[in-house]
Amino acid sequence: MAVQTTRGLGRGLGSILGEEVPTDTLRKPVGYVNKQIAGSSDTVKPGADVLRIPIDMIEPNPFQPRKNFNPESLDELAESIRTLGLIQPVTVRKISNGKYQIISGERRFRASRIAGFTMIPAYVRDTDDRGMLEMAIVENIQREDLDPIEVALSYQRLIDECNLTQEQMADRIGKKRASVTNYLRLLKLPAKVQHDLKVGLVSVGHAKAILGVDDTAVQEQLCDLVVRNGISVRQLEDKIRKCLSDREREYSDKSDEDLPEEYYKVLEFLGRFFGDKISLKRNKAGKGSITLRFTSDDEMRNLLKAIESTVLK
């Protein structure tokens, strides 16, 4: 386990990634042109397929707990949607007068309106029949033509809308939990990287390698590098390894050997469970990381019990 902080990759980043060349000209907005279009007279069967719905047929949810949306943040999202398309569809339900109401994704809905979209992709859900929804999503996952982001979004819908844990979901779809977790991690990538993964400019292997970096800006630069130069997953991993190595060397040079008293208390507490298999790094600015090396599940269980008895009681 490691406590990570967001840091740049050091002075050598430019030489490792190469000269920054714009790659946005290679990107086109994603669309759902082959999906059924829901119109005012259409009979829509709720399920897992993505439908393109006229935006003026969609209404905000009056029970939306979030009332304030930052205008600058919405404008930034709108610009991203103009460039890349709406990668993650909203979820709606059918209401009276042939209209639809937002269940989730109101921020994306608002940004799409700002972006000037007249149609947006959406999942249509029957909120009164969770069992049918679950079956529809699971059936959709079994299709062979889904891109990695569509698979990840389907997994996330099972968790959010069907109230399933990752373990329960893995059982439903016949996948290992580790595979499910890896797909869900793809949704943590920046929109630009998700777009390129969705349209096939980068592979799942590339995306997994990029997830090894915790800086969003650098993740996008690495993605640009793959799109621009067509490097393999192995070549990308080598570059990331070099970047991280340089970063740790630079970070180590700035480290401060004298730790505040509370740090020693943390080390003493964790040392009861992991002995000398723990390391802590901290620089003068107070940023750092803790690394724990464990040799059995029992060590983690004992730590969890201690945390639950002191912190969570």
Residues with catalytic function: 106
Residue recorded with tokens 């059936």: 139
Long-range CB pairs of 71-79 (<8 Å, 24+ gap) are 74/107, 74/110, 74/111, 74/114, 75/114, 77/107, 77/108, 77/111, 78/111, 78/112, 78/114, 78/115, 79/115
Residues 6+ apart with CB under 8 A from 296: none
In three-state form (DSSP H/G/I as H, E/B as E, the rest C), the secondary structure along 120-179 is EEEEECCCCCHHHHHHHHHHHHCCCCCCHHHHHHHHHHHHHHCCCCHHHHHHHHCCCHHH
What distance in Å separates the CA atoms of residue 196 and residue 230, rounded to the nearest whole number?
A: 12
What distance in Å separates the CA atoms of residue 15 and residue 8, rounded to the nearest whole number?
A: 14
What distance in Å separates the CA atoms of residue 172 and residue 179, rounded to the nearest whole number?
A: 13
